[in-house]
Amino acid sequence: MIEVTGVTKTYSAQGSEVRAVDDVHFEVKTGDFVLILGRSGSGKSTLLGMLAGLIRPTNGVIRFNGKEIGSLSEDKISELRAKEIGFVFQFSGLIPTITALENVMLPTLFSPNGSGSRSEALKLLKRVGMSHRADAYPRTLSSGEMKRVAIARALINGPALIIADEPTGDLDVDTEYEIMELFRELNREGKTIVMVTHNPDLVPYANRTYGMDRGKLVQRSDPFPFRMVPEGGAQPHQSDRP
């Protein structure tokens, strides 16, 4: 589904160059649940942004379903995002001036089909356990509730790929568990998930885990943090999944 070849992202900061992402190669197959582990500042969010077409790589190629993202126009990338990719932001990213239900329906305004189905949005809210707060404004919701709404929003256009940036970052343990179970369910239904986190406890949910450190990506074959494994030589670790 996604092929990343030799991708680098460099930023210029106060005269010096910073490599947020450094010569990354990897692949995501349809149906994968990929976890990218790393400390903050490791470049994992930047990598995620590039996968979604939100950040343009300085070097390298990213292919989505065979199409090179870099060659597409801004508008085409936006269309792609609207149709194929569901995004869950680190801080939920709900629009404060509209209700939870309207937040879920928001991506439908941007998809080529025009406005979306309210009933579909309500179904999704029910699925994430938020149908009773459909008319609530984000400021009255807890972090966990906002996160659920954000996940429902990510699903409204029926995307094949879900990209999640630290989705459980600011949640307590119980809520984190509930959210991760939701992701697991979605993965079981066939959705491809690429998730970025600093929490190694989430590794069991994924079928493939990478580590990221100072812009470099390495695939991990075991749950211990940041032990370097040669590229291409690692085996994808299968079900630790209970």
Partner 1 sequence: MSKSPEFRFSRLVASSITNRPHRNVATIVAFAIIAATLFSAQYLTSGALQSLDAGMTRMGADILVVPEGYSAAAQTVILMGEPSSFFFNDSGFEQISKIPGVAKASPQIFIATLAGQACCSAPVQLIAIDPDHDFTVATWLKENPGVVMGKDDIIVGSMISGDIGSDLLFYGHTFHIVGRLAKTGMMGVDCAVFTRFEDAYVMSDESGVKAVRELTIPRGMVSAVLVKVDPGIVPATVANRIQAQIPGTKTITPNGLLSSVTGQLAAVTHLLYGSTLAVTIVSIPLLGFISAMVAHERRREVAIFRALGAKKSYVVRLMLTESFAISVIGGLIGIAAAAGILVLFQDFIAITLKIPFNVPSPLTVMIIGGSALVLTIAIGGIASLYPAILVNRSEPYDTIRKGEP
Footprint on this chain of partner 1 (rule: CB under 8 A): 45-46, 49, 52, 54-56, 74-75, 78-83, 85, 87, 89-93, 95-99, 101-102, 105-111, 115-116, 118, 122, 134-135, 137, 143, 153, 157, 165, 170
Residue 14 beta carbon to partner 1: minimum distance, rounded to whole angstroms: 16
Exposed / middle / buried, residue 208 (Cβ in 10 Å: 0-12, 13-18, 19+): buried
The residue among 89 and 184 lying less far from partner 1, judged by its C-beta, is 89
Residue 214 beta carbon to partner 1: minimum distance, rounded to whole angstroms: 17
The residue among 196 and 203 lying less far from partner 1, judged by its C-beta, is 196
The residue among 29 and 76 lying less far from partner 1, judged by its C-beta, is 76
The residue among 29 and 56 lying less far from partner 1, judged by its C-beta, is 56
Residue 179 beta carbon to partner 1: minimum distance, rounded to whole angstroms: 16
Residue 53 beta carbon to partner 1: minimum distance, rounded to whole angstroms: 9
Residue 241 beta carbon to partner 1: minimum distance, rounded to whole angstroms: 29
The residue among 17 and 238 lying less far from partner 1, judged by its C-beta, is 17
